[in-house]
Amino acid sequence: MGGSATRSAAREVILTLVVAAILIAAMPLLIGTYTLTVLVIYGMLGLSLGLIWGFGGILCFGQAAFFGLGAYIYAISAVNIGESTLPMILAVLLTAGFALLLGAMMFYGRLTDVYLGVITLVVTLILFKFINSTAGPQYVIGEARLGGFNGIPGFQTLNVPGDPGAYIWGDALYYVCAVALVIVFLLVTWLLRSSFGRIAVGIRENETRMALMGYDVAARKTVLFAIGAAIAGLAGALFASWAEIVTPTLFSLGQSAEIIIWCIVGGLGTRLGPVVGAAGLAYLEFVLGQQSMIDNTLIMGLVLVIFVLFLPRGLVPAIASLWQGSVGAFGRRRPVRRMRRARHG
């Protein structure tokens, strides 16, 4: 059994890599790489919430806070350091550290779901208000002025590690972001197959039972929460490098709500769903932004309502079960076990 599990894992990694390589190569033929880059970054952000909500049962209303925090940490440290490698690492680690503290406070305080949502929401609001109010010249970290509502422009964007003059932008930035997303996706896959990931799913299903079996639920949720925040922080840093400016709107409530909608539409409890939901809806919004007939948010609201009513499990699970049904009708060549895995992720 152990051998076959390893083999199926290896097969899945190869399949992921092949599909990803084809998509990365083919997508620029359809959509410009500038837009694609941000779609990929949003995909990573969607995955970060998809991990902690879909597999850990932690509904965080403030995933945008970690996204914005990653972007700001990157921007501030890039201004001060003048090279992008260390700021990238800082953006991931400091965001995770912040989430670790926040998570420990919430999970050891035994807050239930609703209060957890409220607290993460309020933290996002506080960050938004605070950054907005930093317009004065006294708000300086090193050489970086926080700049209030105007944000921080003109920081060092992503460069080849060790060579600040060799900027990574345009097509190259797209490929870097896409590869980063694939790596994060594979890491999430590995995490979910590990004991830690399986235990996290157990906690999602029944916290009391897992505690009665001897698992420290608070500690495990805190760690998972921080991992999700680290991914969001990385996405934020990449976003900062793409946009070449960070502004407080990164922390806005609209952004937080959008991430949740991505997960619902794409399919909660799958790894692919939130990525597809994020990229798909962000692209839809981009296309809608080019016309002025109908208000954007109206259509997004409609999409959400349609999905909640007709595809409550989300896009990816729906397609997976459709695929399962059609294959089942055409013969029994595919073993059932693979189908079940496809449904879960």
Partner 1 sequence: MAETVLETAGLTMRFGGVTASDNVDFKLKARELRCLIGPNGAGKSTFFKCVTGLLTPTEGHVFMRGQDVTGWLPHQVASLGVGIKTQTPNVMDALDVHENIWLAARRFFDVSEARARTADMIDRLALGPIARTELGRLAHGERQRVELGLVAVADPWLVLLDEPAAGLSAADVDRMTAIIHEMRRSAAVVIVEHDMQFIRSIAEVVTVFHQGAVLMEDHVDRVMTDETVRRVYLGKKA
Which chain residues interact with partner 1 by CB under 8 A?
1-2, 195, 198-199, 201-202, 205-206, 208-217
One DSSP character per residue, 219-286 reads HHHHHHHHHHHHHHHHHHHHHHHHHSEE-GGGG-HHHHHHHHHHHHHH-TT-SHHHHHHHHHHHHHHH
Please tell me the distance from the alpha carbon of residue 314 to that of residue 68, in angstroms, as a whole number: 26
For partner 1, the closer of residues 80 and 324 by Cβ is 324
User: Smallest distance, Å, CB 305 to partner 1?
Assistant: 26
For partner 1, the closer of residues 150 and 194 by Cβ is 194
Distances (CA, A) of 241 to 37, 46, 211: 11, 18, 42
Identity at 11, one-letter amino acid code: R
- DSSP code of 312? T
Strand partners, 145: 140
- DSSP code of 152? E
For partner 1, the closer of residues 56 and 236 by Cβ is 56
Q: With H, G, I as helix, E, B as strand and everything else as coil, classify residue 345.
A: coil
User: Smallest distance, Å, CB 210 to partner 1?
Assistant: 7
For partner 1, the closer of residues 26 and 212 by Cβ is 212
User: Smallest distance, Å, CB 90 to partner 1?
Assistant: 34
User: Smallest distance, Å, CB 204 to partner 1?
Assistant: 8
For partner 1, the closer of residues 129 and 341 by Cβ is 341
Identity at 204, one-letter amino acid code: R
Candidates 285, 317, 271; CA nearest to 44 is: 271
Question: Cα dihedral angle (26, 32, 36, 38), rounded to 10 degrees?
Answer: 170
Candidates 209, 185, 178, 179; CA nearest to 35 is: 178
For partner 1, the closer of residues 108 and 149 by Cβ is 108
The number of beta carbons lying within 10 Å of the beta carbon of residue 20 is 17
User: Smallest distance, Å, CB 208 to partner 1?
Assistant: 6
For partner 1, the closer of residues 1 and 329 by Cβ is 1
User: Smallest distance, Å, CB 67 to partner 1?
Assistant: 29
User: Smallest distance, Å, CB 216 to partner 1?
Assistant: 5
CA 311 to chain centre: 22
Dihedral of alpha carbons 151, 154, 156, 157, sign: positive
For partner 1, the closer of residues 129 and 337 by Cβ is 337
Decide: 58 and 116 in contact? Cβ < 8 Å: yes
Decide: 194 and 200 in contact? Cβ < 8 Å: no
For partner 1, the closer of residues 208 and 292 by Cβ is 208
User: Smallest distance, Å, CB 278 to partner 1?
Assistant: 24
Please tell me the distance from the alpha carbon of residue 81 to that of residue 143, in angstroms, as a whole number: 9
User: Smallest distance, Å, CB 217 to partner 1?
Assistant: 7
